[in-house]
Structure 1
């Protein structure tokens, strides 16, 4: 080993801390590995060549030990990178094997031998012994200052340990803050995914994926065939890697009662995030499980209901990246999607408390009947229901049962539907239609015979105008067509508007108009001439009569009592 002194190069940290954007904190890194150390300038200057154990260069290096002893394992604890000039190696092959066996037995990370003084090529016995024990053997073709190697590597290891402590502290602080402000499971799982750079999933005891926050991938990839994969991953008593997929799993439980588990998935091949789970990733998952436990204790709403509500809102808002992502989320909750059709139903309740109570009651009622459905609050007084209809099942009887259940529970509720759609991604369209039906439904609107809900085909002229009543163009049109007649009636105490209404309702039949108003035909003729003069129109014109009829209907709608926001 050379005794000359060189200025120690600045430690190289590039590639040692894989990071992804996080919520105000660094993401998890990985321990220093044999490959990382060999890439350092202080060691790469010796032209290192990996002779054996190429596939084991990801071993973590916990320390560096330079030695010329024949029994260095006595002073090792495992994870050390052993540096030697080769001077102490025994001559006989048996002694070399014993030397390697002791290093491998103690768990040394790798053996680095300098080929400058005693050897110019590694001894065959040493190569065979290292290959047999799976110990990485690295040769150095040039002189290297081992003291500088230990200084640089130890500085990196200690720096990583200090950073790991700071990172762990930040993780604890982040989850403590989430817990103190009462964060729900959705926010906790999102934070875990962002901090770790891994996909994180919360599932219940029957292996339904309630919440999935993908990182660097899609929901469809993360949740594909979820139940089968999850059941192949056995539970563990503590946070650990489990199952054929190499999932990191932590149980969510309280006082011995298990509620589910939170799962961290390894990164898919080719992703920047390391596939192996770092100590910081383990800490993230453990703290996430703890935060979820506290959230479950504090918050009374079951996770299943919350997850279905959130899924419904995402479907309504079309917040999925693709139809396959939407299908995967629904399927991971144990709901069918293949060959199903879908229909949106909205229930607008008189009061907010009615909607909250009905969400739980209706979910339980439909579950008992075996109806596949997503139920969730979409507004303070609006409950959204998405029916998942198997092939051949008619929707009308199911909607009728649902509607009557709601009306019996809370009289005065308005139930509206959209049209049936054949794909899950089209559910948003069905909800838009149901929303238009609800907007076009006045309080106390009569129901069609034999039906307890409103559907798109019910929307006629009056209901269309009712839905558009806040549009200033409707208001302007009404005023331009009828304003002068209303002003005339107000100034002269006449009632020409009523006569006009009777005339239009009678489709231009003056005799019927006179009978409806209890007037003589001559009086009706006189009033109609006055209306034509005031409005400057021709009541014999079909177009003019249509315009006035629309304006009169709009006037009635505009004069109707205010109905608030219809649950929006």
Structure 2
């Protein structure tokens, strides 16, 4: 930590002189860069700023004319001196208070106190006059003036102070090296934005926020003892009141310390320390250093991104995952974080999941490109529908969304509008477009953001089950639309259910393996038309004799009467279970 005037006064060599602060007590936090001993009247040109000047009453500080004394102090202040320490011992070596003998070390009043008279009964008039004259001369200066009422060895003072300063410089170098190594390592590891911001907060001891140019929060970490709610509540509004700067600086009504994050000569956003003004003044250089090194690390990390939208999506995805997995402690923090990444507050929140089918054995790179196009289509459709949403790609073929709704009655209307616009946005939309291969699962909405987000897995389950359903296209599916298939999907890992399906179907599956496909597909069609042979003939385009022969073959293989409702129900459940457990074996 830098050395301040108050720290110097606490050092033993100066404490022995019983220092008394005559003026500028509120400025004892001025940093001391060096100690300078001088009896010169004018030090202009000799000081570089930050020096603590040591002098005696025999020099210009002992001038009897107050105008001369005031001019001397003003020149020191103008030259940038940290303060002046005046040893109040007369030319004859006597004590300024009028005592004929110099006090022993340790005698006299406590530091900073008293009128300047010692406790030996000596007259104090001259000392009191001197202190009063100094106080009047220092009026209007932002400058500590300290009076030493006992003689000290200036060489001991300079030695002690310079030793402290050198040690501090060494500590600053070590901190700079540690900071450099920390962010260099993060850059080499391609660390996530959240990791870089978290390390900056740990090193600086204050809150850190990384926002984009639209004032959406991409990553944040509260300071020690702080909360995300306090940090991010009303972030966009507060941030817009802080003017942009082209370099590190402090601005806005809250005195935010911030620096731009630039990638390829383009500003992506800024890194902010909203509470840096509350840190100890001596840490300011360190805090600024950490801020700037973290901004550089972010710039390097962002160079690898395809575009800024990827960063924003990851920020939203991180929040959705935290919400769904219960890592956000409460509703206030959830709302603050959601609003900070761009979600408008709503009266109700609705969880969605979208499933997209990929062609069998699709090239992985092509699948990745398709997923990206689907994600972009979902985002465009939500914007076109006027819906504020958080969107993330959960895994291949699945996208999770959280809608903000103004009222529960708007849910279906919003969903229908969104689904229609999505089909228009999907690549190759039309008769053979991707819209034919998408399913939207909708979970139960809630007035609580946390509660709605925790139902995202429910929405994903609905979308997954709906993806395996035949029948008329729906704009979206809810749990009520799944019925038996939804129940079986929940139970698909149950070994008893799997054993039941295998027992019902194993003979026809063995026949398929031996003689090739045909009968299993016919059984599906038979169950789909509920045993109506006229409808089955039209569906399969088989002649009646061929159809009856094959139905009889199925009955012989399975040992059941297909006219029996319970047999049909058991076989239907078995086929649904098989489709859910091994969807790749499903007969079209």
Aligned to 1:562: 582
The TM-score with structure 2 as length reference comes to 0.72
Aligned to 2:469: 445
Contact kept in structure 2, 1:415 and 1:452, CA below 8 Å: yes
Contact kept in structure 2, 1:266 and 1:275, CA below 8 Å: no
Q: What does 1:50-449 correspond to in 2, within 5 Å?
A: 50-73=21-44, 75-88=46-59, 89-115=62-88, 117-120=94-97, 121=116, 122-216=130-224, 217-254=226-263, 256-267=265-276, 273-274=279-280, 278-302=284-308, 303-337=311-345, 339-351=346-358, 352-353=367-368, 354-391=370-407, 394-404=410-420, 405=422, 408=429, 410=434, 411-438=436-463, 441=465, 443-446=467-470
Question: CA distance change for structure 1 residues 473 and 209 in 2, over 3 Å: closer, same or farther?
Answer: same
The CA deviation string for residues 412-453 of structure 1, in whole angstroms up to 9 with x for no partner, is 3332110111121222233132134245x1653135x67232
Say which SS state the counterpart of residue 303 (structure 2) adopts: helix
With 191-200 and 104-113 compared, the bigger mean Cα shift is at 191-200
Tell me the CA shift for residue 558 of structure 1: 4.2
Say which SS state the counterpart of residue 298 (structure 1) adopts: coil
Contact kept in structure 2, 1:443 and 1:563, CA below 8 Å: no
Query: Residues of 2 paired with 1:102 and 1:382: CA distance?
Result: 72
Question: CA distance change for structure 1 residues 146 and 432 in 2, over 3 Å: closer, same or farther?
Answer: same
Query: Residues of 2 paired with 1:187 and 1:369: CA distance?
Result: 35
Contact kept in structure 1, 2:438 and 2:467, CA below 8 Å: no
Question: CA distance change for structure 1 residues 256 and 356 in 2, over 3 Å: closer, same or farther?
Answer: closer
Tell me the CA shift for residue 177 of structure 1: 3.0
Instruction: Calculate the aligned-residue CA RMSD, in Å.
Output: 3.7
Contact kept in structure 1, 2:356 and 2:437, CA below 8 Å: yes
Say which SS state the counterpart of residue 214 (structure 2) adopts: coil
Say which SS state the counterpart of residue 470 (structure 2) adopts: coil
Q: Give unmatched runs, 5+ long, in structure 1.
A: 1-15, 17-30, 491-497, 507-516, 529-544
Tell me the CA shift for residue 386 of structure 1: 0.8
Q: Give unmatched runs, 5+ long, in structure 2.
A: 98-115, 117-129, 359-366, 511-522, 532-549
Say which SS state the counterpart of residue 231 (structure 2) adopts: helix
* Equivalences, count: 484
Question: CA distance change for structure 1 residues 46 and 437 in 2, over 3 Å: closer, same or farther?
Answer: farther
Q: What does 1:452-531 correspond to in 2, within 5 Å?
A: 452-472=475-495, 474-475=497-498, 478=500
Aligned to 1:513: none
Say which SS state the counterpart of residue 455 (structure 2) adopts: helix
Query: Residues of 2 paired with 1:249 and 1:201: CA distance?
Result: 9
With 96-105 and 231-240 compared, the bigger mean Cα shift is at 231-240
The TM-score with structure 1 as length reference comes to 0.75
Contact kept in structure 1, 2:504 and 2:571, CA below 8 Å: no
Query: Residues of 2 paired with 1:160 and 1:371: CA distance?
Result: 55
Aligned to 1:10: none
Query: Residues of 2 paired with 1:393 and 1:119: CA distance?
Result: 87
Tell me the CA shift for residue 67 of structure 1: 2.9
Query: Residues of 1 paired with 2:458 and 2:302: CA distance?
Result: 36
Contact kept in structure 2, 1:346 and 1:383, CA below 8 Å: yes
Question: CA distance change for structure 1 residues 518 and 323 in 2, over 3 Å: closer, same or farther?
Answer: closer
Say which SS state the counterpart of residue 138 (structure 2) adopts: helix
Tell me the CA shift for residue 320 of structure 1: 2.4
The CA deviation string for residues 179-209 of structure 1, in whole angstroms up to 9 with x for no partner, is 3333343333233222222222222223333
Query: Residues of 1 paired with 2:282 and 2:446: CA distance?
Result: 43
Question: CA distance change for structure 1 residues 275 and 313 in 2, over 3 Å: closer, same or farther?
Answer: farther
With 75-84 and 99-108 compared, the bigger mean Cα shift is at 75-84
Aligned to 1:533: none
Contact kept in structure 1, 2:441 and 2:477, CA below 8 Å: yes
Query: Residues of 1 paired with 2:496 and 2:30: CA distance?
Result: 72
The CA deviation string for residues 113-150 of structure 1, in whole angstroms up to 9 with x for no partner, is 33454524352121122242121123345544332222
Tell me the CA shift for residue 327 of structure 1: 1.3
